[in-house]
């Protein structure tokens, strides 16, 4: 709810639960006016959509900049009345304000769709002579006064989305990413919530920066005002200098509220993404990625047999990973030389592509277009195409540097290479990787992350325009580029380079707040994980990979017939369940045992659900806590059974749960959500998958 009266930028009256019809908006405005702060300005301090010190706001400003040191503070007034727009998808407002003395205009868009997700962005225009140097632009909204805790996330390679939670204090709590990409340690979501909020209870407010370059998320609480959530692009010194009539448009910043805890928050965000025009509408193909099967050892005979095994278990898409292009026998050479290595593939990729298509599979290919190996023909021919400070290269990472895609010649070269590959092999899919941070990123003598990010977006957009059927996965050494900016142009993310199922349980749990399952790639790997060395049962690996866009990353030529049969049964199960998994509501039980997780997906009509009970570590209880299933309809009667296609975990056969020993149980949703079911006794790194159907 916005107060659009008067001549100043609208202030936010309320963001949260729907209060219902308001008889008198004037009375609401009057009732919301706070007292004048003690020992402060002689008017109430109100939070506008673009707060400035001219409003009495002493926190982070909405917009900051200057003209060679002059006009460091803006005093904004509306140029015209606020425009209100509504359509079948939701509603929004457009606001245009100006500081006449500073000669700066700001155009603000606020949109809210039917999911309740709000998007805000600002466009800053230099109306005057000379240069206006823009320092920061943020979009922000007030969280409720009842918000007393903050949840955000950190992480590293193969350990993304690690939660950290603490009190919401007075002052500024900032999460900045200066990596030039979203980052393994990027918070993704910053959540403020009422004390003790969980998955199924408590009010929560969240913000997400839909931008793939440098960015900032923050909470702020002042003595004069309640908690605020904000985010924006993080601009480097001198990065945005607007000449007369030039403008800067911020990325969309996303806000969501829930009165039903984190699951309610995720449901709104998932509905928003599923409502996009570019959201995948076809069933997500089960894929096999060759990376952990063969790494750089590309041999047609081995890959041909792998493809046959993939077809046997029901794979629908074959993705040839790194190692197919010129000179690429390890990760130190060849990036930028996007032509097939004829010493390994004398007939090109055509024999493998032809075989895969004959077996009914789509075909995908790994690329890393934004990078260049120092040992490559491209780098030797065009050393000036690196995105680096004049006279020196950035610190090396995997013997590679960043290609300056804001440079027209470099952009045109990469676009032509990708376009030719997609054309020649009629590719269905690109796994688009991005394996290093952008350190000392300089384009044409100034900070270059902003223009690099826009160039990458433009490259993706143009490639998709030329090839409308092409799907693209956002991979960035795992989960280092997961945000709504890149997802406006891609169809899937690789949540992490680890497919150790125990690590993946946590990673998928928390990235699933931001993204629905159909956008999160999850693969079944070998018994011993390549990233951690941990060995787990096949049933646990299958149960973990079931809840997402499922795939396989394993040398199937080394599997036994029994293993192949179990994988094939799992693939059939996933295909049967994916209409539910990829459209339903993701839910998590606030389970009393922190060592065991119960999560699932419930259909929109609540007649069908699938849950997984996951034992992470040993419990102090010798009898496990009951399973109470969230999200069910209290009046429906559900039959609960184990999914045998995943397999039952080994261990404790002498102490079975009676209802599981019988095979199923039939109870009302009211009982299943309150009294619950007796849980099986599982060992660490074990899981059981349960299917629920209403009669």
Lowest mean pLDDT among 35-39, 236-240, 274-278: 35-39
Q: Which residues pair with 228 in a beta bridge?
A: 142, 220
483, pLDDT greater than 70: yes
Domain ranges of the chain: 2-274, 287-579, 586-694
- Kindly name the residue from 3, 113, 321, 497 that is annotated as catalytic: 497
Q: Note the pLDDT tens digit of each residue in 660-688.
A: 888 899 999 999 999 999 999 999 999 99
165, pLDDT greater than 90: yes
441, pLDDT greater than 80: yes
CATH class of segment(s) 2-274: mainly beta
CB 628 within 8 A of CB 676: yes
Lowest mean pLDDT among 51-55, 232-236, 306-310, 462-466: 51-55
Q: What is the pLDDT of residue 654?
A: 59
- Would you give the distance in Å from CA 286 to the centre of its chain? 20
Q: Kindly state the average pLDDT of the residues 168-195.
A: 97
Phi, psi angles (nearest 5°) of residue 9: -60, 135
- Kindly name the residue from 433, 491, 500, 555 that is annotated as catalytic: 433
Using the CB atoms, write b or e for 374-406: b if 16+ within 10 Å.
bbbebbeebeebbbbeeeebbeeeeebbbbbbb
Q: Kindly state the average pLDDT of the residues 497-509.
A: 98
DSSP category for residue 355:
H
Show the tokens assigned to 615. Answer: 């034992």
E strands, 210-316, in order: 215-222, 225-233, 240-242, 247-249, 253-258, 287-289
Which residues lie closer than 8 Å to 625 by C-beta, 6 or more apart?
A: 591, 592, 593, 596, 679
**Does 586-694 match 287-579 at the fold level?**
no
Starting at the edge strand found earlier in the chain, the sheet holding 240-242 runs: 63-66, 132-137, 240-242
Architecture of the domain whose range is 586-694:
Sandwich (2.60)
Q: Note the pLDDT tens digit of each residue in 71-88.
A: 999 999 999 999 999 988
- Would you give the distance in Å from CA 634 to the centre of its chain? 32
Give the whole-angstrom CA distance, residue 316 versus residue 319: 10
Q: Domain 287-579, what fold?
A: TIM Barrel (3.20.20)
Q: What is the pLDDT of residue 655?
A: 73
Give the whole-angstrom CA distance, residue 334 versus residue 510: 35
Residue of higher predicted confidence among 391 and 196: 196
E strands, 355-415, in order: 362-367, 371-373, 400-402
652, pLDDT greater than 70: no
> Euclidean distance between the first and final Cα of the chain, in Å?
42
Q: Kindly state the average pLDDT of the residues 561-588.
A: 98
Q: Using only C-alpha atoms, what is the Rg of the chain?
A: 27
Q: Kindly state the average pLDDT of the residues 330-352.
A: 97
Show the tokens assigned to 305. Answer: 């047999």
Q: Which residues pair with 240 in a beta bridge?
A: 134
Q: What is the pLDDT of residue 650?
A: 65
Q: What is the pLDDT of residue 45?
A: 84
Q: What is the pLDDT of residue 38?
A: 86
Phi, psi angles (nearest 5°) of residue 469: -85, -15
Q: What is the pLDDT of residue 690?
A: 97
651, pLDDT greater than 70: no
Percent of residues, the chain, with pLDDT higher than 90: 92
Show the tokens assigned to 69. Answer: 């040191």
CA neighbor of 153 nearest in space, from 116, 206, 198, 210 = 206
Q: What is the pLDDT of residue 24?
A: 87
Which residues lie closer than 8 Å to 603 by C-beta, 6 or more apart?
A: 580, 583, 584, 585, 609
Q: What is the pLDDT of residue 17?
A: 95
Residue carrying structure tokens 């006279």: 391
Q: Note the pLDDT tens digit of each residue in 318-340.
A: 999 999 999 999 999 999 999 99
Q: Kindly state the average pLDDT of the residues 5-34.
A: 90
Lowest mean pLDDT among 46-55, 179-188, 355-364: 46-55
Give the whole-angstrom CA distance, residue 465 versus residue 443: 26
433 is catalytic: yes
CB 546 within 8 A of CB 612: yes
515, pLDDT greater than 90: yes
């Amino acid at each position: 709810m916005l107060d659009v009266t008067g001549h100043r930028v609208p202030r936010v009256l309320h963001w949260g639960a729907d209060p219902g019809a308001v008889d008198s908006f004037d009375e609401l405005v009057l009732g919301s006016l706070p007292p004048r702060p003690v020992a402060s300005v002689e008017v109430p301090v109100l939070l506008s959509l673009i707060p400035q010190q001219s409003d009495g706001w002493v926190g982070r400003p909405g917009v900051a900049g200057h003209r060679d040191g002059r006009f460091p503070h803006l005093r904004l007034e509306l140029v015209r009345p606020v425009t209100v727009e509504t359509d079948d998808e939701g509603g929004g407002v457009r606001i245009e304000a100006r500081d006449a003395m500073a000669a700066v205009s700001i155009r603000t868009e606020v949109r809210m769709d039917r999911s309740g997700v709000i998007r805000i962005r600002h466009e800053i225009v230099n109306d005057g002579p000379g240069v206006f140097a823009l320092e920061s632009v943020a979009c922000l909204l007030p969280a409720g006064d009842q918000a007393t805790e903050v949840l955000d996330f950190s992480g590293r390679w193969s350990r993304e989305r690690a939660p950290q939670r603490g009190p919401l204090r007075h002052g500024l709590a900032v999460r900045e990413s200066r990596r030039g990409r979203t980052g393994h340690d990027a918070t993704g979501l910053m959540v403020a919530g009422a004390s003790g909020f969980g998955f199924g209870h408590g009010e929560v407010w969240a913000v997400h920066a839909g931008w793939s370059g440098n960015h900032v998320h923050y909470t702020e609480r002042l003595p004069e005002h309640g908690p605020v959530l904000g985010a924006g692009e993080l601009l480097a010194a001198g990065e945005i200098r607007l000449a007369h009539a030039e403008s800067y448009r911020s990325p969309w910043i996303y806000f969501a509220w829930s009165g039903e805890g984190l699951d309610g928050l995720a449901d709104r965000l998932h509905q928003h993404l599923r409502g996009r025009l570019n959201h995948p509408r076809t069933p997500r193909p089960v894929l096999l990625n060759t990376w952990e099967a063969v790494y750089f050892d590309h041999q047609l005979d081995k890959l041909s047999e792998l493809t046959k095994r993939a077809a046997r278990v029901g794979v629908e898409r074959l993705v040839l990973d790194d190692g197919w292009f010129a000179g690429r026998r390890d990760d130190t050479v060849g990036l930028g030389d996007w032509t097939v290595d004829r010493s390994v593939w004398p007939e090109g990729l055509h024999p493998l592509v032809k075989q895969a298509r004959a077996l009914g599979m789509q075909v995908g290919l790994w690329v890393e277009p934004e990078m260049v190996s120092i040992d490559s023909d491209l780098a030797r021919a065009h050393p000036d195409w690196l995105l680096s400070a004049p006279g020196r290269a950035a610190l090396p990472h995997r013997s590679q540097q960043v290609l300056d895609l804001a440079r027209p010649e470099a952009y045109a070269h990469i676009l032509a290479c990708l376009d030719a590959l997609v054309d020649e092999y009629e590719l269905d899919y690109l796994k688009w990787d991005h394996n290093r941070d952008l350190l000392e990123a300089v384009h044409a003598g100034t900070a270059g992350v902003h223009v690099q990010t826009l160039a990458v977006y433009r490259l993706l957009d143009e490639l998709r325009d030329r090839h409308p059927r092409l799907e693209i996965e956002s991979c960035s050494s795992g989960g280092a580029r997961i945000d709504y900016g890149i997802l406006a142009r891609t169809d899937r993310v690789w949540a992490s380079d680890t497919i150790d199922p125990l690590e993946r349980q946590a990673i998928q749990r928390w990235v699933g707040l931001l993204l629905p399952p159909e956008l999160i790639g999850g693969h079944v790997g070998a018994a011993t994980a390549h990233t951690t060395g941990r060995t787990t049962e096949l049933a646990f690996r299958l149960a973990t990979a079931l809840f997402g866009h499922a795939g396989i990353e394993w040398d199937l030529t080394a599997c036994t017939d029994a293993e192949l049969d179990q994988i094939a049964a799992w693939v059939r199960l996933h295909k049967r369940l994916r209409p539910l998994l990829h459209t339903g509501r993701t839910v998590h039980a606030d389970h009393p045992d922190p060592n065991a997780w119960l999560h699932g997906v419930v259909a929109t009509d609540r007649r069908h659900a699938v849950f997984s009970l996951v034992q992470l570590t040993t419990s102090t209880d010798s009898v496990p806590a009951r399973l109470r299933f969230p999200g069910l309809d209290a009046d429906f009667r559900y039959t609960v059974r184990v999914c045998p296609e995943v397999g039952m975990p080994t261990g404790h056969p002498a102490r079975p749960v009676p209802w599981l020993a019988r095979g199923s149980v039939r109870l009302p949703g009211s009982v299943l959500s309150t009294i619950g079911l007796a849980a099986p006794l599982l060992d660490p790194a074990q899981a059981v998958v349960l299917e629920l159907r209403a009669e």
